Structure 1
């Protein structure tokens, strides 16, 4: 589908070079969001000829556009904050909710993210996931994007060009006729970008991405408040970590209830998928494994050979996964029962690597307590359907109430 007419959005500009060339983006996002009404200044001057001349000059309004730079899209400028935003991967809807802008999200891929965020934010009063029910499954078409008619597409344009029925001209068309792309998928685990993009591709943290999104939404105050809490949380964790020699070995797994599929993931690798495990500095039980992609399938014997002190099991804090059954099956399995983590009851549930800043707060706290109970307080036993535990203020590793207030607009 194409349009012969100029773009409908005179108020939205896609800056920088055409995305097809691949752009070298800067590492910071800048906002010019301080808006001011037009001011009229009247100056009266009395000359020596007794002539009074009144000069009235209208000041030029300040630029109220919102500009960020992010590889690979380059520079993106919106004349107004977006009100209709397309996303695919779950970390961007999380960001919108954190900024009090969840109602702007018109699409995302995975409904499981809704359940995960509901679990972690269960202690927040009146917190609403406004994009719940808007998951459409994996992938999307150009026709769908024209139907949604979004101001902004929070998706990496280089990733888009790797998908079926998409090419560079399609991506350029959407950016021109609808709204720009903004995303950086391959920072998730510092994967190699697709051919044609590698020379200019840069990697960013989860909070780097959040910074740019906040600027485009004109939500710098909310972002700064949340970033301050995040910095305090990281500092609290860093100060409390035991010496490296006393840290446990950890198997970070995606594992089925019946043990028929076991996948090992990196624990300390770069990328925002590890933004809740890497700061904790535990020992990766599979650090020497040859993992060429984001994960590697192993069997129970390989797991026993590594024999981790702790097992972290992804995707397990939802009602669709029976975590109790998983633990029982490990205890009943002739190989699984030999695992130190099983014998010492150190098999723990986890959320998802596909986290935005809200889930990152809770998953950092959760994982720190699971790995270092002596330093940060023990993680309670999890039963299917449980809500996130209520920790007293002195047990919290970040200020839960502060985050809730920021989301509600109290800075």
Structure 2
């Protein structure tokens, strides 16, 4: 959707253009999505007879801190930057619209999890870029929509609120909520009225802007069934293992502990499983804290959940060998009992969330949900028998294909 100089700005084309501007200055009451300008229940939009901006459908969503965003047509050229939004677009069958994503490990993880899903493609595989972005880059991409939290954008080098408003006016609106990731404090200038939303609330808003309500509802129903299955199978709290959720380098030189059961969408696959955090919940100032091997041994978790193995960022096989050969690491209960597992990434969207819920359930509770096989580099997600799966793969594939 290239914009010529004589064409109105996207702000002028928005049916509720003023809402986008004022939304940058105040929070909203909650995350909602609709595909029509008047239906708060997000009814499926239908094409207007002439398809013009005045009689055609509109695509609306409301989210803190951006307020309400309304589009006259679904976006086809979308700037994502953060991985969870690329995952969302893929889940909605709109992966081709993504023009830029930070970090190629995201695509590697998506390929790992979705390799056996019929009709799921990752067309943005080669559209990964370095972390961060400039105004010039966004002008050049000329995106219909920027799936980025404007509050977070103002914290980046050479960005301020005026820059954010310039891009929103001249290029395309912003839509994101970064600080819900672990309920972090937003910038002071944005704190008043900033609200936290779950991963799936954020996904619902993105689906509304794409006009993909049916796909969203099918995926949300699948997740609800998965959570019900997990909840029904969980052992009593007194019988649950202790676990540490780690980002650990291959050579063990850097060990970071993340909260296991914290609020926010970074924990959307661990919190529902209710394992006991070996490090507790006290004394944390951020999403993670660095520890040494002595502290890890003192906590001595029953299970180690280690990030990044399936993304290629960490050599999982070498890391496990290094733990087994380390004087202190070899004393860990999780190492002695062969309960060191690889994870994907906390930067998950809905597709990765579904698989990581199943993955982590099996890693924490193999006696309840079935054994998790040892990961080896180059593996794809295990092809469990139907009786061993916690959710229906064909049902997921059908939702992504739009067969709903």
TM-score (ref. length: structure 2): 0.92
Q: 2:139 is matched with which residue: 142, 146, 150? A: 146
For 2:45, the equivalent position in structure 1 comes to: 34
- CA change 1:19–1:161 in 2 (3 A) is farther
Tell me the secondary structure at the aligned position of residue 317 of structure 1: helix
Q: 1:156 is matched with which residue: 149, 152, 158? A: 149
Q: Is the 8 A contact 2:84 2:348 kept in 1?
A: yes
For 2:350, the equivalent position in structure 1 comes to: 357
For 2:91, the equivalent position in structure 1 comes to: 98
Q: Is the 8 A contact 1:315 1:351 kept in 2?
A: yes
Question: Residues 299-320 of structure 1: CA distance to partner in whole angstroms, max 9, x if unpaired?
Answer: 0000010000000000011345
Question: Residues 39-58 of structure 1: CA distance to partner in whole angstroms, max 9, x if unpaired?
Answer: 9xxxxxxxxxxxxxxxxxxx
Q: In the alignment, is residue 405 of structure 1 matched against residue 398 of structure 2?
A: yes
Q: Distance in 2 between matches of 1:309 and 1:357?
A: 28
Q: In the alignment, is residue 299 of structure 1 matched against residue 292 of structure 2?
A: yes
For 1:239, the equivalent position in structure 2 comes to: 232
For 2:311, the equivalent position in structure 1 comes to: 318
Q: Is the 8 A contact 2:150 2:164 kept in 1?
A: yes
Q: CA deviation at 1:401?
A: 1.3
Q: Distance in 2 between matches of 1:293 and 1:78?
A: 36
Q: Distance in 2 between matches of 1:20 and 1:347?
A: 44
Q: Higher helix proportion, which one? A: 2
Q: CA deviation at 1:23?
A: 2.6
| Greater mean alpha carbon deviation, residues 399-408 or residues 104-113 | 399-408
Q: Distance in 2 between matches of 1:97 and 1:38?
A: 29
Q: CA deviation at 1:321?
A: 2.9
Q: CA deviation at 1:294?
A: 1.1
Residues 156-235 of structure 1 mapped to structure 2, 5 A cutoff = 156-235=149-228
Equivalent pairs, count: 389
Q: Distance in 1 between matches of 2:241 and 2:68?
A: 43
Q: CA deviation at 1:161?
A: 0.6
Structure 1 stretches lacking a partner, 5+ long: 40-60
Q: Distance in 1 between matches of 2:171 and 2:29?
A: 22
Question: Residues 116-170 of structure 1: CA distance to partner in whole angstroms, max 9, x if unpaired?
Answer: 0100011123532011111111100001000000100000000001111001111
Q: CA deviation at 1:63?
A: 5.5
Residues 53-92 of structure 1 mapped to structure 2, 5 A cutoff = 64-92=57-85
Tell me the secondary structure at the aligned position of residue 124 of structure 1: coil
Question: Residues 6-55 of structure 1: CA distance to partner in whole angstroms, max 9, x if unpaired?
Answer: 8433533534243442333433223314325549xxxxxxxxxxxxxxxx
Q: Distance in 2 between matches of 1:26 and 1:294?
A: 24
CA root-mean-square deviation: 1.9
Q: Distance in 2 between matches of 1:316 and 1:386?
A: 11
Tell me the secondary structure at the aligned position of residue 146 of structure 2: strand
Q: CA deviation at 1:325?
A: 1.2
Structure 2 stretches lacking a partner, 5+ long: 37-43
Q: Is the 8 A contact 2:261 2:267 kept in 1?
A: yes
For the pair shown, which has the larger CA radius of gyration, 1 or 2?
1
Tell me the secondary structure at the aligned position of residue 179 of structure 1: coil
- CA change 1:138–1:320 in 2 (3 A) is closer
